Amino acid sequence: MSPRLLFIAVLCCGLFVSCGKKSGEKDPMNETAVVALSGDADTFNPIVSGSATSGDIQGNIYPMMFDVSFDPRDGSLQYDPGLVVRWESANDGLDMILHLRTDVRWEDGILITPEDIKFSFSLYGDPEVASPRRNYVESMIFTDGKFDPNRSIEIIDDSTMVFHFAKRYPLQLFHLNLHPIPKHIYRNADRKTLRANPANEHPVGAGPFKLDEWVHQQQIDLVRNPTCTLPYPAKLDRVIFRIISEPTTRLTELKKGTVDVMSPVYPDDVKDIQENNPNIRLETLPPRSYEYIGWMNIDIEEYHNSGKKNIKPHPLFGDARVRQALTYAINRKGIMEHELGTYGELAVTDFSPIFRWAIKHDLIPYPHDQEKSRQLLRSAGWSDTNGDGILDKGGRDFEFTLYYNIGNKRREYVATVVQKELKDVGIKVNLQSVEPTVLFQNIEEKRYDAFIGGFRVKLAIDPSDRWGDVSNPFNTVGFQNRRIGELLKLGLHVPNERDAGPFWKEVQSIIHQEQPCTFLYWNKDIVGVNRRLKNTNINVLGVSDDMWDWQIGDPNSYMTY
Amino acid sequence: MTRYIFRRVMSAIPLLFGLLTFTFFIIRLAPGDPVSLYVQGDVDPAFAQNLRNSLGLNDPLPVQYVKWVKSMLLGEMGVSFSRNAAVTKILADTIPNTLLLTVFALLFNFLIGIALGITTALKRGTCTDHLVNITSLFVYSMPEFWLGLMLILGISLQLDLLPASGMHSPLAKYLSTPRYLWDVFQHMILPVFVLGVASAAATGRYMRGSLLEVINQDYVRTARAKGLSEFLVIGKHALRNALIPIITLLGLSLPFLLGGAVIVETVFAWPGMGKLTVDAIFARDYPLIIGCTLVSGVMVILGNLLADILYAIVDPRIRYE
Amino acid sequence: MNDRRLDMDGGWLQRNIPGLSFIARGQRTFGWLLLAYFLMFPVLILANLNSFIEGMRSMGLSVFLVLVDFDHHRLFLRIDVLEHWLSSILVIAMPVLLWWLNRRRLRGMARDSDEHELSQWALAWREFKKNRIAATGLVVIIILYTIAFLCPYFAPYHPNAFQDGLVTKFRKPLSSVTVLHLNEESVSSRNLASLRMQSDYPSLVRDLVLINRDLTDDGFASTRAVDAFRVEGAEVKATVGDDLVSIPISSLVSPDPEEFAGRRIHLMGTDSYGRDILSRIIYGSRISLTLGFVAVLLSVTFGTLIGLLAGYFGRFTDSVLMRFVDVLLAFPALFLILIIIAAFETIAVPRVVLIVLVLGLTSWMGISRLVRGEVLAVKEREFVFAARALGLGHARILRRHILPNILTPIIVNATLRIGGIILVEAALSYLNIGVQQPTASWGNIIFEGKDFLSHAWWISTLPGFAIVVVVVCFNLVGDGLRDAFDPMLNNERV
């Protein structure tokens, strides 16, 4: 482009900009919704995908075994027919017989058969594939320590298959609800490089939408899948997901009306939106993730150097009284109100308030009480013997480094407040922010004495990850308790989910008493939705759950240039 | 000339290799685990170990290096951990976006910069001169992300003149070609402005100095003395010589622009190399980091080469043998 | 000539108060500025007399205790107190230094009054002073650095102090917060009952600990910020956000609302924590300005060294060093910085130090190229040949003959770079690897506020403005220096 042309172009720009919007002709945006996301999908192969974005969008592309919904009044998952029409438990709960629909086709017209499902499960369970959901098949049949698809999955005929489990437990349906992928496409795929298989770029599914185009880092276009019969065809022609990582930019797009759905909206922006943007409706999601301050329960040096049984307690946080004292010393309610306003709920244990039936309601959250905190620390042997303002015991000062991930402003605030409030009871806290990769790795490998972490819970109760074996990477604080071990065995092997209620309540009492970590609060994510979009059912399963039902209420309301 | 270019390109190869080796080791020495980003929520606890095995991250470093050199010699860049796609494909998708942004930013930079430089040099000492100087200094001194966000809030949200982010409207691919170009152009205005304006200010100041120096040279005085019009004197005699140092700037401003692109791309959700590189570094996506380093290295070296060639064109005294 | 004589005899006042002699000689602006600057220090001391005296006491006691009882130094030697001492020393040292310089100058003038040979530096200085804009830039920079080093004397509040964030966050500039003052007993953190000193001088240590505590205490803990309040019997009913809290009057300093309630004024508003932005900008200037200065010092030193070696020794040394420079230059600086910070972030140094090191060690390439070029030119001049013929060592030739002759472009370049480094620090903050909170730097204040730009513009905008001012000033000074050192342009101006 020559300079002169550019000059003319710049001139034109000035003229055209003022002309503004197009009018007349039918606008395709009347049948299109735009969703803003903070991060891109990593792949659309449900076997290997790990990002939240992928998980959200995949549900609309791939067929689902069951149509799952979460009943908030009741606090548990409901399974309705999907690919599976009918299911029954047999052989004393060890077998699950599934009756499948025989009329569902992949996008390319080929029928979905039990073979597809068996093939998919064999991939989920193969350690070479390294699926993040490999643990879903953990309770099926294993041969020589490896998942054995042939013994676990039996195909009776085109519409019937049987899954064999090694034990009876309430999460069987939950674990069967994995997306199948088409066998005829992936049959010869190399398992080790499945995550980079070129076919992943063009996923073939059977859901209400299909992938039209995926421009990495930029946008993901879903269009209606006209052949979908599972569960319902989409009402909108098209849903576009745009990747905008800068929060201010994302919010601007929502306010301008160029984005219809945006998540998350920060609580600090709520007032501004409510006052100035009547075209935006804010929806609150039930609490599914919590923040906590992890106190390492065990001596990490010994944990890393020696055998992993009966490790001695951590010199600072090994004593439950100390951990209680720390919880007392921190004004959790103040932190929550400051950060989340009314969009948070004080966390008592790691059992989400959404599981109403399993929550022990009579546990009283530790109040902010510095006097009580000092008293507990004194009784655990910590006092300021040398007068430097920092507690000490046996020559060791109560001083530690608190790690959190860099750039997470909420945790930065928590860290700053914790540092300040613990100073008041005589504990010196050093702050260190590190990159997320570094933080997560070190937390999972138990290399930090104290850190701020967060956790997003599954929709079925399974405390075994967090409080099970010490070597489990999600038991981030190295908590060990014999009674909880027993309760886990009991609770996870009842025939019916609800029967585990009493066990889970006891687990909560123990956790509350022992305070393996200081639970801060549950977040209620806020989703901003443009009012032109109707029938959204934004729920705990994610922003794009039931996306097939979305409709544009008010035509010609999309902003264009 | 051709031989010169060939020699320059050849000598760049060991340079690039050194650059990549440096990157290879330093990024692997960095703490942090590429796999750990995925291990959260309801993920299989053994997942990290399985994935590390399948990505070959458990091999000793020298083994990984040898493997890497081998695959580089075969022209394979490997597969990105975080994006699950071939690095070459990711780069091929991303480079055009960045080129679009940087080329226009460069154009903006030099056209506006040179124009400002000429204006201020000719009106030296006047109010215009001071005003332009101070304004350009102010613009030059603003943190890019802050300027970008302010423009988004001001021009895009409050005045509603331009789109806030992205490369084009969501459905732009169905527009007719002129409309599509128009759409992309509108989306480009703010990011190109933010990316180019600081360097334009700098270029303007250089240009001013350079032109002032030339104007006082004997041959310009001679030209004036001959009675040539001021326009001819400046346009034909002075400008050509004053441009020579500016051309060096052109080559040097490429890495600068690439660096600035990181921030502009994040603020304006522009899917380019800068953001790709930063994301790759934070995700410890080793193959992608190497790929990005290669691209930026090549761009910088090409930029320098381009500057040298332009040198020869503008200044006939320079001959490359 | 007569003027100068007059100067010398200008009397005691002119000799001892910097600035007066300039005013007397007709350099009014400069003289008044200098005078005001000189007088600012005593005013500062008077305005903060209490904390100044406490700081001095703390320093004296500490020095004594370190000498006699080193084993227990951990009880009272603390970094944040050291910072206070530094400011206290500076607030005394700066006027003394000015005074001494003034004396020396006047005495020197008396001695050399007949000498007309001015050094290159003096000539440049004279040129520089003529350049109004550049001189203004220099004045602003000096003022900012003074504020940075004396930040406890300028900042209205402690930069990290916040309390009752619900009430205090996102306050607009020029707004104020109502606070209730609590009495000593009800502030639990102040309870020192359990203090038992294990030292040979327990009472002295106890005094020192108390002084230090007062010095570093932000004073916020003894207050309660409220939106509004009213007295009801023996209680104060206060609204805090959406809540109504009652505070017993007995826990306040006095039962009189006039005395127990106060206002905290925030000239530049507060951030999302409720911290005072003015104080954070003042304390942040210390980090940002030192960071810029030290990083440039590092890069200039390193770059000059490499450039000198490459240019002077030539051949093999030259090509090795310059290839290395080429490799590093082929990296966009920001990527290089990111990778290096990522590689070393877990090493146990504060992130500020790491950033300074990395910024310093990734920006020297340009300088070394520049220096190399200059050296190549100077190396061929007669005086270098002469020095060589005399058999002088390489080190001496480099130091005494080459370096002084290439210093000008280096200084100009360095000045222009400082602004750039401050901008890079802001960019690093945006990429999440800036200075670690709660320490304030301009970059991280802007970053802290950028998500709230749409409803709390001041958090990001005000420190952004500070950056603009500093970068502009450094550039003006750099340009001014270049013009001053460049004889051709000087002639032209005459």
Please give the ipTM for the structure prediction. Answer: 0.84
Tell me C183's DSSP state.
P
Say if CB A261 and CB A273 are below 8 A apart.
no
Q: Do A362 and A508 sit in the same domain of this protein?
A: yes
Tokens 């500093």 locate to C470
Among A38, A245, A368, A420, the strongest candidate for a mutation testing the C interface, having the largest count of C CBs within 10 A, is A420
**pLDDT, tens only, A211-238:** 998 888 889 999 999 888 877 788 888 9
Q: Do A50 and A125 sit in the same domain of this protein?
A: no
A192 part of a folded domain: no
User: What pLDDT shows up at residue A347?
Assistant: 92
Residue A376 has pLDDT above 90, yes or no: yes
User: What pLDDT shows up at residue B278?
Assistant: 87
**pLDDT, tens only, A509-518:** 999 999 999 9
Q: Do A519 and A531 sit in the same domain of this protein?
A: no
State CA C322 to chain mean position distance. Answer: 34
C369 band by pLDDT with thresholds 50, 70 and 90: confident
Provide the 10 A C-beta neighbour count for residue A78: 11
The residue of chain B nearest to residue A256, with distances taken between CA atoms, is B157
Mean pLDDT, chain A, rounded, equals: 86
β A399-405/A450-456 pair status? parallel
User: What pLDDT shows up at residue B37?
Assistant: 67
- Chains near C with 3+ CB pairs less than 8 A apart are A, B
Q: Cα torsion at C432, C435, C438, C440 (round to 10°)? A: -120
Q: Do A430 and A479 sit in the same domain of this protein?
A: yes
Provide the 10 A C-beta neighbour count for residue B15: 17
A481 part of a folded domain: yes
Between A189-198, B239-248, C197-206, the lowest mean confidence (pLDDT) is in C197-206
User: What pLDDT shows up at residue A2?
Assistant: 43
Distance CA C76, CA C54 (A): 14
A26 band by pLDDT with thresholds 50, 70 and 90: low
* Residue A169: CATH number of its domain: 3.90.76.10
Q: How many residues in chain B?
A: 321
Q: Do A265 and A396 sit in the same domain of this protein?
A: no
Q: Which of A233, A185, A229, A231 is nearest to A209 (CA)?
A: A233
| Helix, strand, coil share of chain B (percent; to 5) | 75, 0, 25
A194 part of a folded domain: no
Mean pLDDT by 10 residues, chain B (321 residues): 80 83 85 71 66 78 86 84 85 88 88 88 82 84 88 88 86 82 90 88 83 78 76 76 77 72 87 87 88 86 78 67 49
A301 part of a folded domain: yes
Q: Do A28 and B170 touch (CB under 8 A)?
A: no
Distance CA A364, CA A512 (A): 9
Q: Do A370 and A515 sit in the same domain of this protein?
A: yes
Say if CB B194 and CB B145 are below 8 A apart.
no
User: What pLDDT shows up at residue A450?
Assistant: 94
Q: Cα torsion at A67, A70, A75, A77 (round to 10°)? A: 20
| Pick from B38, B107, B284: CB nearest A6 | B107
- Cβ of A469 under 8 Å from any chain B Cβ? no
Q: Do A216 and B271 touch (CB under 8 A)?
A: yes
Q: Do A29 and B44 touch (CB under 8 A)?
A: no
Over range A488-493, report the average pLDDT. Answer: 86
Map out the domains of chain C with their CATH numbers.
2-114 (no CATH), 165-266 (no CATH), 277-493 (1.10.3720.10)
User: What pLDDT shows up at residue C490?
Assistant: 43
Distance CA C390, CA C2 (A): 45
Q: Do A148 and A212 sit in the same domain of this protein?
A: no
Distance CA C207, CA B13 (A): 68
- Chains near B with 3+ CB pairs less than 8 A apart are A, C
Amino acid at B19: L
Between A38-47, A244-253, C253-262, the lowest mean confidence (pLDDT) is in C253-262
Over range A379-401, report the average pLDDT. Answer: 84
- Cβ of B203 under 8 Å from any chain C Cβ? no
Q: Do A451 and A316 sit in the same domain of this protein?
A: yes
User: 190-229 in A: which are within 8 Å (CB) of B?
Assistant: 192-193, 195-196, 200-201, 213, 215-219, 221
Residue A137 has pLDDT above 50, yes or no: yes
Provide the 10 A C-beta neighbour count for residue C83: 17
Q: Do A336 and A417 sit in the same domain of this protein?
A: yes
User: What pLDDT shows up at residue A35?
Assistant: 93
**Residue A31 half-sphere exposure toward CB, CA atoms < 13 A:** 11
User: What pLDDT shows up at residue A239?
Assistant: 92
Q: Which of B81, B85, B97, B50 is nearest to B289 (CA)?
A: B81
Q: Which of A326, A327, A513, A520 is nearest to A426 (CA)?
A: A326
Residue C366 has pLDDT above 60, yes or no: yes
Among A195, A236, A269, the strongest candidate for a mutation testing the B interface, having the largest count of B CBs within 10 A, is A195
Distance CA B269, CA B164 (A): 9
Supply the Cα-derived Rg of chain C in whole angstroms.
28
Domain count, chain A: 3
Question: Which chain A residues have a beta carbon less than 8 Å from that of B182?
Answer: 16
C491 band by pLDDT with thresholds 50, 70 and 90: very low
Q: CA dist B49 to A131, A138, B46, B57, C204, Å?
A: 11, 16, 6, 10, 58
Q: Do A255 and A271 sit in the same domain of this protein?
A: yes
A104 part of a folded domain: yes
Angle (CA) A274-A280-A282 rounded to 5° is 70
Q: Which domain holds residue A469?
A: 289-523
User: What pLDDT shows up at residue A295?
Assistant: 93
* Residue A35: CATH number of its domain: 3.40.190.10
CA dihedral for C344, C349, C355, C356, sign (positive or negative):
negative
A459 part of a folded domain: yes
Question: Which chain B residues have a beta carbon less than 8 Å from that of C469?
Answer: 141
Higher model confidence: residue C278 or residue B28?
C278
**pLDDT, tens only, C154-177:** 888 888 888 887 888 888 899 888
Tokens 């994006």 locate to B83
Distance CA C398, CA C309 (A): 9
A334 part of a folded domain: yes
Helices (H), A218-264: 247-256
The residue of chain A nearest to residue B49, with distances taken between CA atoms, is A130
Provide the 10 A C-beta neighbour count for residue C9: 9
**pLDDT, tens only, A29-66:** 788 899 998 888 888 999 988 888 888 888 889 988 99
A5 part of a folded domain: no
Burial B220-246 (b: 16+ CB within 10 A, else e): beebbeeebeeeebbeebbbebbbbeb
Higher model confidence: residue A469 or residue B249?
A469
Q: Tell me if residue C362 falls in helix, strand or coil.
A: coil
User: What pLDDT shows up at residue B70?
Assistant: 87
Say if CB A71 and CB A356 are below 8 A apart.
no
β A517-523/A344-346 pair status? antiparallel
Q: Do A388 and C209 touch (CB under 8 A)?
A: yes
Over range A253-276, report the average pLDDT. Answer: 90
Which of A413-422, A547-556, C406-415 ranks highest by mean pLDDT? A413-422
- Contact residues for C119 (Cβ-Cβ < 8 A; gap 6+): none
DSSP of A52-63, one letter per residue?
Answer: HHHHHHHHHHS-
C193 band by pLDDT with thresholds 50, 70 and 90: very low
User: What pLDDT shows up at residue C187?
Assistant: 64
- Contact residues for A298 (Cβ-Cβ < 8 A; gap 6+): A311, A312, A313, A314, A318, A446, A470, A478, A480
User: What pLDDT shows up at residue A155?
Assistant: 92
Q: Do A471 and A483 sit in the same domain of this protein?
A: yes
Taking phi over 0 as left and psi of -120 to 50 as alpha, with beta for the rest, A457 belongs to beta
Q: Tell me whether residue C244 is exposed, middle or buried, using C-beta atoms within 10 angstroms of its C-beta: 0 to 12, 13 to 18, 19 or more.
A: exposed
Read off the pTM: 0.86
Q: Do A349 and A461 sit in the same domain of this protein?
A: yes
